[in-house]
Amino acid sequence: MAIIAKLRGIPLVLSIQDAYPESLESQERTSTRHLLYKLLKRMDAAICRSAAQTIMISERFRRLYAEDRGIEAERLHVIPTWGKEDSIAAGTSGTQVFRHRLGIANDAFVAVYAGNVGMASNAEMLVDVFDRLKNHRKLFLVIAGDGSRLPTCREEIERKQVSNVIIHSPWKAEETVSLLQMADILLLPTRRSQSLSSIPSKLISYFLSGRPVIAAVLPESDTAMTILENGAGWVVDPDSPDMIARAIVTASEQPREILSNLGAAGREYARRNLTRESTLPRVINVISRAANSQREDEKRSRGESVSVSQE
């Protein structure tokens, strides 16, 4: 794409959602010592340098590309990923029906993981977490989604005879609202340093659902700071089943009003910062800026005068 844009003289605007190859390294698919890692990093930097403007999803990403990739700060813009505010209602209308469908009692405390069950998700660790919670008869986990690690989750459930973990797959799009409404708490596990190189997109739907979140992420990650600064849930270290288990028990002991307030805080943050209405105008502004810069460059090449921006 970068080459085509260059050949056609079209300004390129990039949107970077994950930091590669750092994300691959955190999943142990490569390491900083490997030639592949170094090659991917050089390619990533070259593509980013060819862009007129680049959209980053967080301040951490902006610093990474400014300091490590050497991209001029004025060409980097922090605009978070967004979702549709009206796509996920914050309520309880579908709670009982969906719980009954999965064989979960009304008075159970339900934790839900909803999303891709892949390598980066570390969802299989949640089976280990609930193996530790076997004696808590009213605590349930629902893993909803599909991915390369789903068979591993099923194998671990069977091997450990964990009766309080339910797999819901396939997960249909029209079930999203009922699935998230059913949850008392939403779980966001990650693997090792994965939280430093990406922000899980499921966090948007989690927040919009109005449910509190327990995130297993590094404390310096953007995900952790977003949750803690907005009072939207709890943060624990990744790869620690004991800590996640304790956090779930702690959440289950909270009054409903507390859980509701945590969920409402996350939804309000998402409404103000993670919806199309709040972010799309900023994206359009970046694209317009790239187009204006292109026109000014063309005028200079023809020897014409250009206006000086007051920004």
Alpha-carbon Rg for the chain, nearest whole angstrom, is 22
pLDDT over 70 for what percent of the chain? Answer: 92
pTM: 0.84
What confidence tens digit (pLDDT) does each residue in 106-126 have?
899 999 999 999 888 899 999
Question: Across residues 66-90, what is the average pLDDT?
Answer: 85
Q: Can you tell me the distance from the alpha carbon of 273 to that of 230, in angstroms, rounded to the nearest whole number? A: 12
Per the CB < 8 A criterion, the answer to whether 264 and 270 are in contact is no
What confidence tens digit (pLDDT) does each residue in 248-259 have?
999 999 999 999
Residue 89 has pLDDT above 70, yes or no: no
For residue 222, give Cα distances in angstroms to 1, 28, 58, 112, 305: 29, 21, 7, 22, 43
Q: What is the pLDDT of residue 307?
A: 57
Amino acid at residue number 276: R
Per the CB < 8 A criterion, the answer to whether 63 and 70 are in contact is no
Q: Can you tell me the distance from the alpha carbon of 62 to that of 46, in angstroms, rounded to the nearest whole number? A: 16
Q: What is the pLDDT of residue 205?
A: 92
Helices (H), ranges, the chain: 2-8, 22-26, 35-50, 59-67, 95-102, 124-131, 150-160, 176-182, 194-197, 202-208, 222-229, 241-252, 256-273, 276-301
Residue 91 has pLDDT above 70, yes or no: no
Question: Across residues 276-285, what is the average pLDDT?
Answer: 92
Q: Which residue has the higher pLDDT, 70 or 120?
A: 70
Residue 311 has pLDDT above 50, yes or no: no
Half-sphere exposure of 197 (CA within 13 A, CB side): 16
Which residues, other chains included, contact 135 with Cβ-Cβ below 8 Å and sequence gap of 6+?
none
Beta bridge partners of 16: 56
Q: What is the pLDDT of residue 305?
A: 63
Q: What is the mean pLDDT of the chain?
A: 89
Q: Residue 192, class by beta-carbon neighbours within 10 Å (0-12 exposed, 13-18 middle, 19+ buried)? A: middle
First-to-final CA distance of the chain: 29
Amino acid at residue number 153: C
Q: What is the pLDDT of residue 42?
A: 93
Q: Does domain 85-273 have CATH number 3.40.640.10?
A: no
Q: What is the pLDDT of residue 87?
A: 61
Mean pLDDT is lowest, of 22-36, 52-66, 102-116, 250-264, for 22-36
Parts of the chain belonging to CATH 3.40.50.2000: 85-273
Q: Which residue has the higher pLDDT, 183 or 94?
A: 183
